[in-house]
A = this chain, B = another copy of it.
Amino acid sequence: MAAATQLGYRPNQIARSLITRRSNIIGVAMPNTGNPFYRNALNALSVEFARIGYRILLFTSDPVAGSDPILAEVLRYQVDAVVLISTSLSSHFAEECMQIGVPVVLLNRRTDSAAVSSVTGDNTRGARAIAAFLLAGGHRRFAYVAGLETSSTNRDREAAFFAALAQAGVDGVERQSGHYTAEGAAQAARVLLARRSRPDAIFCANDDMAFAVMNVARAEYGLDIGKTLSIVGFDDTDLAAWPMLDLTSYAQPVQPMVAHVLESIVAQLEGGVQATHHVVRGELIVRRSARRPSSGVERLDDGREIWRASD
């Protein structure tokens, strides 16, 4: 032992994993977007997995091109499990992993196959709450800035938003796609705001796009956000709480979501093969980027305000 430490001996984890068939490595794939929601999720995954003895092998993918080619690589590394964060076009790959016995969890994404576990925010409830909130705020002309058409988060948010508005008798809702990018959302905003009858309420499928729309609305059209134009986002990124931005947004709580990912993966590793589908409920955090309804807003102990009327 003395000689070992003196020579700086380090057990070769790679060789060990060859025989134990446990690499203690989790493959994580995510789009290489600037989206802070992913960054937070990755951070949280990294510290939580480290806590139980796993490292993360990172695979970033082009957000639109999808990631299957790169993902094929991941299995060669004998990862103990795979976490797919919002990656599009990967449902085939996920099922492939399941088949060969590698646990998979989809984070912030569903797939049509019920066989592969997922953890998502409550996109439907969130989009519905946003519709109700904007309606209660007395808005008349609505618009939706969509994310990637291929993503389940966007589909769910869009469907619920339009359904809730339709149910309230609102039609003629504008729609532009921002493809979950800042540039795309800025373009969408220019199209929407240049119209003669411009919308007075815009729901953006995530915070990143909401900020891009705010930038354009204020800098290029001189609109007073929260007065002339209401903007609501989705994710409740750190930035949303900044006084200078102050974005009303539906909170997707990263910590609980990541906790469920861990839970699902350890369950699968221990042999519970049952796929689970966790929908983590969030809250619509009310700030100043959107006109505030006269009632239905409730103040929490931590000072944040949430929209309660739609429960």
Contact = CB atoms under 8 A, between A and B. Distances in A.
Interface string A220-259: 0000000000000000001100111100000000000000
A25 B100 CA distance: 23
Number of copies of this kind of chain in the complex:
2
A47 interface: yes
Interface residues of A, number: 50
Contacts of A242: 211, 215
Nearest to A211: B242
Interface stretch (A7-15, A121-129, A150-158, A168-176): A7-15
A14 B238 contact: no
A229 to B, nearest CB: 14
A76 B47 CA distance: 19
A214 interface: yes
A187 interface: no
A88 interface: no
5 contacts: A10-B76, A14-B23, A14-B77, A32-B46, A36-B36
